Homo-oligomer: A and B are copies of this chain.
Amino acid sequence: MSRRPTTRTLETVRDASGQVTSQVRRTQLSSGLRIVTEHMAGARSASIGVWVGVGSRDESTTTHGASHFLEHVLFKGTGERSALDISIALDAVGGEFNAFTAKEYTCFHARVLSDDLPLAVDVLGDMVTSSLVAPHDVDAERDVILDEIAMHDDDPDDVVQNLLAELAWGAQSPLGRPIAGTTESIEAMTPAQIRRFYRRHYVPGNTVISVSGAVDHGAVVKAIRKSFARQGWLEAEAAPGDPRGSRRRPKVSAGTAQVDRPFEQVNLVIGREGLTRDDERRYALGVLNTALGGGTSSRLFQEVREHRGLAYSVYSFASHYADSGLVGVAVGCLPDRREEVLDVVRGELDKIAGSGITADELARGKGQLVGGMILGLEDSASRMMRLGKNELVYGDVLGLDDVIGRIEGVTLEDVRAVAAEIFSRPELLAVVGPA
């Protein structure tokens, strides 16, 4: 069955005079590669992200850390370009150029002046399709990653968040393990394993490219079809992979985990099992999270910091994955404040579980979420992130008006119900600090 490229317009925004201020278009190539662009009137920059649907949760015990390792190795060179050539290309034009690996995806991204976009497309296409994954490069990069792991190990926030994930999903579960791997798994990883991982996951059907800014959709598609055609990469015929989400919901454990470290502060995260990424209650949870610990007017900031001076940093968060999620409160405090902090935070969680939030908090939470979203739209990089992540994890770009409508539609009862459900679940407590 031959598939032809298909292109459609997803969203067009016009100003009061009818001029198009932004337009989102999507092309799917016969290889399954998806390209989503957003033209922003008046922009001078362009941001591009190559999103590959692979992350630490796709790793086995023996490939633990392979997604992140591979992300590093892709900067080490191709048949056309050495590592230095890759670095020079984007440094020379002042572009920002980086990558990150998460539990469910890997992203390579650049922000450049729009005239330099073809250069960025060319370098990224070369890296993604034609990395050499040379054994001596793998070995040099292994040492860099071991040092990066040591760096994360010196960061109390990273240590406590990794501990929470391990407590929630277990050290044997991919979701429960640190993204970068462990010293043991990285020391044991062979170039052949990394090469197999690369060939298996870096395929067009598992990839989305998002581009925003002063860009023309047709020109971007043309440049990508040229650059990513290297090594016959676009010749496969395939449908894009389905978004994750069909799998069984992993069990989330409760209880306490503590790691003794000679830090000055103790870092705590008090968590609960949360919502999956496609749970419709996530908008209500967003408003709840904002009222609970999303800004300086939030209950936790007011109670923990403003009234009691217990901690400099206190906030709540909600993380969503295809089939699981966590909600939590993170606090760093002096060790002798630990019990008081726990009492105050637990008291606030009980209160919000029992009676939800006020009408004022509902209105403010919505204003904060919607205002923050609109402020984020001025920047080509944040638009690129929105497009790429949406297309990859939902198989679609959620319209801004639609998202705003769903936030505005959240009721007090929606928030009360989600608060009552989540905060009546068993507590997870992760603690890092002096014994």
Q: Do A371 and B93 contact each other (CB < 8 Å), given the known contacts A84-B302, A334-B146?
A: yes
Which residue of the partner chain B has the closest CB to A21?
Answer: B42
Q: How many Å from the CB of A66 to the closest CB on chain B?
A: 18
- Contact call B156/A307, Cβ cutoff below 8 A: no
- Contact call A334/B140, Cβ cutoff below 8 A: no
- Contact call A113/B263, Cβ cutoff below 8 A: no
Which chain B positions have C-beta within 8 A of A295?
87, 91
- Select A308's contact among B45, B140, B373, beta carbons within 8 Å: B140
- Select A92's contact among B112, B332, B364, beta carbons within 8 Å: B364
Q: Do A372 and B297 contact each other (CB < 8 Å), given the known contacts A263-B154, A334-B146?
A: no
Q: Which of A327-386 contact B (CB under 8 A)?
A: 332-334, 337, 363-364, 367-375, 377-380
Whether A153 sits at the interface, judged by CB under 8 Å, is: yes
Which residue of the partner chain B has the closest CB to A371?
Answer: B94
Interface string of A269-313 (1 = CB under 8 A from B): 000000000000000000000000001111001100111111111
Which chain B positions have C-beta within 8 A of A337?
147
Bound CA span A151–B314, Å:
12
Q: How many Å from the CB of A338 to the closest CB on chain B?
A: 12
Interface string of A99-113 (1 = CB under 8 A from B): 000000000000111
- Contact call B113/A144, Cβ cutoff below 8 A: no
Whether A262 sits at the interface, judged by CB under 8 Å, is: yes
Whether A20 sits at the interface, judged by CB under 8 Å, is: no
Whether A238 sits at the interface, judged by CB under 8 Å, is: no
Whether A118 sits at the interface, judged by CB under 8 Å, is: no
Interface string of A316-332 (1 = CB under 8 A from B): 00000000000000001
Interface string of A66-96 (1 = CB under 8 A from B): 0000000001100000011001100111111
- Select A144's contact among B43, B302, B311, beta carbons within 8 Å: B311
Q: How many Å from the CB of A219 to the closest CB on chain B?
A: 20
Which residue of the partner chain B has the closest CB to A377?
Answer: B44
Bound CA span A310–B143, Å:
7
- Select A375's contact among B88, B113, B155, B262, beta carbons within 8 Å: B113
Whether A142 sits at the interface, judged by CB under 8 Å, is: yes
Whether A435 sits at the interface, judged by CB under 8 Å, is: no
Bound CA span A93–B367, Å:
5
- Contact call B87/A301, Cβ cutoff below 8 A: yes
Interface string of A133-144 (1 = CB under 8 A from B): 000000111111
- Contact call A334/B375, Cβ cutoff below 8 A: no
Which chain B positions have C-beta within 8 A of A380?
378
Would you list 30 pairs from A and B whose C-beta atoms are within 8 A, ordered by A residue? A41-B42, A44-B374, A45-B375, A75-B296, A76-B306, A87-B295, A87-B301, A88-B297, A91-B364, A92-B297, A92-B363, A92-B368, A93-B367, A93-B371, A94-B367, A94-B369, A94-B371, A94-B373, A94-B375, A95-B375, A113-B371, A140-B308, A146-B334, A147-B312, A147-B334, A151-B264, A151-B312, A151-B332, A155-B155, A379-B379
